[in-house]
A = this chain, B = another copy of it.
Amino acid sequence: MSLSDFSARADRADQELDKLSKLFAQLNSSQENSPVDANELQRLQEENRILKEKLKSIENSTTGSSTTTVQPESGDGDEDEVNPWDVKASSEKGVDYEKLIIKFGSSPIDAALISRLESVIKRPAHHLIKRGIFFSHRDLTFILDQVEKGNKFFLYTGRGPSSESMHLGHLIPFMFTKWLQDVFDVPLVIQLTDDEKFLWKDLKMEECQRLGWQNVKDIIALGFDVNKTFIFADLTYMGQCPSFYQNITKIRKCVTYNQVKGIFGFDDSSPIGKISFPAVQAAPSFSSSFPFIFGDKTKVPCLIPCAIDQDPYFRMTRDVAPRLGYIKPALLHSSFFPALQGAQTKMSASDANTSIFLTDTPKQIKTKINKYAFSGGQATIEEHKEKGGDCEIDISFQYLKFFLEDDEKLEKIRVDYTSGELLSGFLKKELIEVLTPIVQQHQEKRKLVTDQLIQEYMTPRKLNF
């Protein structure tokens, strides 16, 4: 090895040494400047955990005792609890809807109203109405009056996008809304409350928006007329149309904290996002929130088909409407789609076995129904033949009420199951046969929904009606 080789090697080593020394000094000093102590971090994390626990226990104890207008007598144990975030039935038959009508102050949909509806639309009512699943209303007669006078109204419904895939229960209001749109030939607005989900759930905002986009595919797959339907997500639409925020602000001027506390059960530790949210769900009830659809017509009547747990929002909306010079929205309330385990339990998006999802395979549908669908039958075949089954609590029968359109067939099943002639197994088989093609066809249609088509539905634009 030559001298020059060594010289070069030593020089390189010196350079390398110099570089490393500097880096080392830097690294060391950065640690000194911000003396981040692992112990301190641990202490803070522990403190954080304790503080959060403390806060949670306070929040639980205060929400536990704060009664809402929705369930003023929740303390006595045999009352159902129904609000936008919680539905609890005290009986195995599920929520007592007759009581709820009285409590909420809505009106029952009776035979006379159904026959009036049928005479206006000149065809039979939807089976969800005839079978009492849409069981309650506000101002439906006013809407029918308008139709008879040749005036248009618009439909408004919505969805809180909190899960990737929707289950059968989520389909109900949309299937029914689609029928209303076809029958009345009216425009429809569908709200995705991605802001609500962000405020209530421990989810990132982007995730709520993504779930909204996924849910829109399921909604579009139901076949709403693209020329008559505007779908919007709050976190986007708010930044597309000043009229929407302007209406929300007008509503927020009319509603006090005391009022929303009473209606929705908020408390002083609720974030101001939750407290002010109800105005966001209220605003689409007014046609002036959609100037590109309704022009300067601020008094186009609105009909809202929804599950009855959403009624508190619209009671509030109906309160403020006259003060803003707007028309009170009319409502059609549905009962709840029961969980497989029975009407008393709640379907849970986090427990895949509580419902049939729109993504389920035929095998999953079959297994879930056979394994989990709560039976109204008796313990033994002998006992069943003797005493008969109970349709009121049999989930297979309940699901058939939602999805089997053939009235005669359903009635025959009811009679034969009640008499004990049919076993639960038959109802399960029947339900599997009804649901499997519905879910499969939905999946086929959903596949055809492109991003471009979604964009079309979600673009603020003129509608044809």
Contacts and interface: CB of A to CB of B under 8 A. Distances in A.
A112 interface: no
Interface in A49-70: 51-52, 54-55, 57-58, 61-62
Contacts of A243: 239
Nearest to A66: B268
Nearest to A9: B10
A10 B236 CA distance: 66
Interface string A162-195: 0000000000000000000000000000000001
A279 B275 CA distance: 13
B242 A257 contact: no
Contacts of A241: 239
A47 interface: yes
Interface in A12-38: 13-14, 16-17, 20-21, 23-24, 27-28, 34, 36-38
Contacts of A245: 195, 235, 238-239, 245
Contacts of A261: 268
Contacts of A54: 55, 269
Nearest to A249: B195
A58 B238 contact: no
Contacts of A254: 271
Nearest to A61: B268
Contact of A38 (B3, B34, B257, B279): B34
A39 B100 CA distance: 37
A298 interface: no
A384 B36 CA distance: 64
A244 interface: yes
A364 B7 CA distance: 76
Nearest to A59: B58
Contacts of A256: 268-272
Nearest to A235: B246
A52 to B, nearest CB: 7
Contact of A236 (B6, B242, B257): B242
A367 interface: no
Contact of A48 (B47, B240, B269): B47
Contacts of A14: 13
Contacts of A44: 41, 44-45, 48
A30 to B, nearest CB: 9
Most B CB contacts (10 A, CB to CB) among A205, A252, A270 go to A252
A370 interface: no
B272 A249 contact: no
A312 B236 CA distance: 29
A421 B1 CA distance: 96
B17 A13 contact: yes
Contacts of A238: 238-239, 242, 245
Contacts of A249: 195, 198-199, 205, 235, 273
Contacts of A205: 246, 249-250
Interface string A243-287: 111100110111111101100001111111101101100000000
A40 interface: yes
B269 A257 contact: yes
Most B CB contacts (10 A, CB to CB) among A16, A62, A254, A269 go to A269
Nearest to A4: B6
A261 B36 CA distance: 35
B240 A255 contact: no
Contacts of A41: 36, 40-41, 44
A114 B169 CA distance: 66
A128 to B, nearest CB: 34
Closest 5 CB pairs of A and B: A239-B242, A252-B273, A276-B276, A13-B13, A6-B6
14 contacts: A1-B3, A3-B6, A9-B10, A13-B14, A36-B37, A44-B45, A198-B250, A198-B253, A205-B250, A245-B245, A253-B271, A256-B270, A256-B271, A276-B276
